[in-house]
Amino acid sequence: MKQAIQIKENMYWVGVHDFNCRHFHGDIFPIEEGTTYNAYLIVDEQITLIDTVEEEFFDIMMERIRSVIGDQPIHNVICQHAEPDHSGGFVKFMQAYPDAHPYASNAGVGIMLKQYFKDYDYRKVKTGDTLNIGKNTLTFVEMPLIHWPDNMLTYVAQQKIVFSNDAFGQHICSYDMFDDAHGLDKCLDRAKNYYANIVMPYGTQVANKLKQIKDMNLEIDMIAPAHGVIWRTYIEEMLAAYEDFATFKSKDKVVIVYESVWKHTQQMAEALAEGIGRNGVCVKVFKYSMTSPALVMKELMDAKAILVGSGCYNNVMAIDISGFLEKLKSCKIKGKKALGFGSYGWFNGVTKEINARLESAGFTLLTDDVLSQNYTPSEEDLDKLMELGKQLAEEIKTM
């Protein structure tokens, strides 16, 4: 039988390890080592479950629950987020525990009804509402658009623990359930990756919610998210990192993303990178079709600028670059600069279109120059691009 893992007195992790998951939310977020779907059980006068798991893993969750409480009833289930990786097992749970009371935010109830159709006598909660379950009292805090309208967290003052759902999550799949087993660098890197690919568009909401939580003066010694490991040693560092993520805090760094068939645009990318990288600015260069989109988004988080390049294909840019620019627009990135570049044969319009779409996505152009190369760049052309890279590096260092 699968066993629950105790995380505090009378509190247990009853979630699932999905070791085979390599694409989270479809192809947009490739991950390395699988993930977890975290559900938590509080054993009190009223036994309470925090979230469920993906429907296909419901039986595993139930094994872990029964390893603690056997055939005892569960009185409450807290639905912090209606997304199926957290609520997919909810209907089966209610079939197993028909007398349990489900709690969700106002938006959460609306989404649960639209996903699962039946009204399970949901109890709506808002920020500041509480639920006493015996020795422990749960306090609810709404977190709209981090990253759905219905998200909320649950705080248990007596145990100084926050169940944060998607906030502060990461994809670490391990039976070592706490952050200190994995080290600060790995935990923050995975949290950054998760934020960049799931939460990034909602930076304003994250910054506001972090301030609100600070103003509430909550005593916290553990944060238990819905994915990955539980924070207990690196909480201060993680909260500071989230503030940086939310405000797009940047360093002297440039990300270059391009697509190229005959290597003309690739030569341009590498010449620009040479000029930038040899003049005191970190530069990351990615051929987009050969790179995990998740990696590009993570690297962009703390970069001051991005350069986007494409060759010309039947009078339009590469489809991968077009999709990438659309993704950038959806991320609502603030305070960064950008520039397009590319090569062409007989239609010189792609670079202007890239620049226009970068501006539409909220970026400020680094220069008014249109970096378009007709066929193969000569040594002189490449030298000019390296010199421009040097100039861009100097500008970036003053930003």
DSSP state of 72: -
Please confirm, yes or no, whether 166 is among the known catalytic residues: yes
Left, alpha or beta for 128 (phi > 0: left; psi -120 to 50: alpha)? left
Which of 246, 272, 301 finishes a domain? 246
Say what the pLDDT of residue 282 is.
Answer: 98
Say what the pLDDT of residue 22 is.
Answer: 79
Say what the pLDDT of residue 33 is.
Answer: 87
Say what the pLDDT of residue 115 is.
Answer: 96
Same domain (yes/no): 284, 324: yes
Same domain (yes/no): 48, 174: yes
Say what the pLDDT of residue 26 is.
Answer: 67
Say what the pLDDT of residue 169 is.
Answer: 96
Please confirm, yes or no, whether 75 is among the known catalytic residues: no
Catalytic residue, candidates 40, 86, 120, 147: 147
Same domain (yes/no): 194, 45: yes
Same domain (yes/no): 212, 296: no
Say what the pLDDT of residue 198 is.
Answer: 92
Task: Write out pLDDT tens, residues 78-117.
Answer: 999 999 999 999 999 999 999 999 999 999 999 999 999 9
Q: Which helix (H) or strand (E) holds 166?
A: none
The span from the CA of 330 to the CA of 297, in Å, is: 12
Same domain (yes/no): 89, 202: yes
- Residue 343 sits at φ, ψ, to 5 deg, of -115, 160
291 contacts: CB under 8 Å, gap ≥ 6: none
Which of 183, 211, 246 finishes a domain? 246
Same domain (yes/no): 239, 373: no
Task: Write out pLDDT tens, residues 160-208.
Answer: 999 999 999 999 999 999 999 999 999 999 999 999 999 999 999 999 9
Burial status of residue 259 (CB atoms within 10 A of its CB: 0-12, 13-18, 19 or more): buried
Which of 189, 211, 246 finishes a domain? 246
The span from the CA of 50 to the CA of 261, in Å, is: 50
Q: Number of folded domains in the chain?
A: 2
Say what the pLDDT of residue 213 is.
Answer: 87
**CA distances for 365 relative to 248, 269, 327, angstroms:** 17, 17, 18
The span from the CA of 307 to the CA of 313, in Å, is: 19
Catalytic residue, candidates 51, 166, 274, 320: 166
Same domain (yes/no): 156, 231: yes
Please confirm, yes or no, whether 227 is among the known catalytic residues: yes
Catalytic residue, candidates 86, 171, 227, 264: 227
Catalytic residue, candidates 18, 51, 85, 270: 85
Q: Indicate the pairing of strand 251-259 with strand 282-287.
A: parallel
Please confirm, yes or no, whether 71 is among the known catalytic residues: no
The span from the CA of 154 to the CA of 140, in Å, is: 5
Same domain (yes/no): 354, 270: yes
Ranges of the chain with pLDDT below 50:
none
Domain of residue 335 covers 254-397
Same domain (yes/no): 106, 235: yes
| CATH code where residue 159 lies | 3.60.15.10
- Residue 16 sits at φ, ψ, to 5 deg, of -135, 140
Order of strands across the sheet with 123-125? 5-8, 11-13, 40-42, 48-50, 76-78, 101-105, 123-125
The span from the CA of 209 to the CA of 377, in Å, is: 50
Same domain (yes/no): 184, 101: yes
